[in-house]
Amino acid sequence: MDLLEAHGQALRAFGDAVRTAGAADWGRRTPCAAWTVRDLVNHVVAEQLWAPSLLAGATLDDVGDRFDGDVLGADPVAAWDSAAEAAREAFLDDGVLERAVHLSSGLAPAREYAWQMTIDAAVHAWDLATALGLPNPVTEPLAWRLLDVVRPWVDDWQGLGLFDPPVAVHRDAGAAARLVALLGRDPR
């Protein structure tokens, strides 16, 4: 599975879960200890809002605090749809994956940034689905591909506050369970 296919699948998985949230669901707790469903969706929407600017060459200072705070407004689903569509279009632009982008960690290849965004969307799709009592929306082929990508980065990410330490899983666990466990979630 190539990067852009994986990215599209991860966005769809998250979007499908967002669209199931009803009025009573936005205050539910998620596997991300400090976040409600609304907090989680706000986080992922804000990340999508950053993508078009960063992929167009903006620095963190250029974007500033534009996407701080509540970016969902009165219609979280519409906010998600709009942000996800804009991010997806930005990642699909010709040659964009060959560029460099400004991230908090410094200048990085856009391809690496795209994988990070894909991993984040997929894992948060699991978080959201879990909070809403839905089946895991991350397919096994997508999870296997993301495991291949994320394994070399996990040790470097520890201690940065991005994810909790890995959780042990049974040796027969599927790829989706392994993926979320590697990134600090208990898939049981």
In a domain, 151, yes or no: no
Q: How far is the C-alpha of 173 from the C-alpha of 179, rounded, in Å?
A: 10
In a domain, 80, yes or no: yes
At 157 the pLDDT is: 63
- Give the residue among 128, 134, 142 at the shortest CA–CA distance from 179: 142
Q: Are 181 and 173 in contact (CB under 8 A)?
A: yes
At 54 the pLDDT is: 97
In a domain, 50, yes or no: yes
In a domain, 160, yes or no: no
Q: How far is the C-alpha of 62 from the C-alpha of 15, rounded, in Å?
A: 28
At 161 the pLDDT is: 58
For residue 98, give both structure tokens.
């060959």
Q: Are 80 and 168 in contact (CB under 8 A)?
A: no
* C-alpha to C-alpha distances, 107 to 58, 70, 93, 96, 101, nearest whole angstrom: 11, 27, 19, 14, 6
Q: How far is the C-alpha of 53 from the C-alpha of 102, rounded, in Å?
A: 10
What's the pTM value of the predicted model, to 2 decimals?
0.93
pLDDT digits (tens, 9 = 90+) for 89-111: 999 999 999 999 999 889 999 99
Number of domains in the chain: 1
At 2 the pLDDT is: 95
* C-alpha to C-alpha distances, 10 to 78, 120, 165, nearest whole angstrom: 18, 8, 22
Q: How far is CA 159 from the centre of its chain?
A: 19
In a domain, 48, yes or no: yes
Q: How far is the C-alpha of 110 from the C-alpha of 50, rounded, in Å?
A: 13
Domain that holds residue 111: 3-137
pLDDT digits (tens, 9 = 90+) for 2-11: 999 999 999 9
For residue 41, give both structure tokens.
């969706």
What CATH number does residue 61 fall under? 1.20.120.450
In a domain, 185, yes or no: no
Residue ranges of the chain with per-residue pLDDT less than 70: 155-162
In a domain, 122, yes or no: yes
CA-based R_g, the chain, Å = 16
In a domain, 173, yes or no: no
At 164 the pLDDT is: 72
Alpha helices in 21-139 (DSSP H): 37-55, 60-63, 76-92, 110-132
At 32 the pLDDT is: 86
- Give the residue among 104, 49, 39 at the shortest CA–CA distance from 82: 49
Q: Which phi and psi angles does 79 have, rounded to 5°?
A: -60, -45
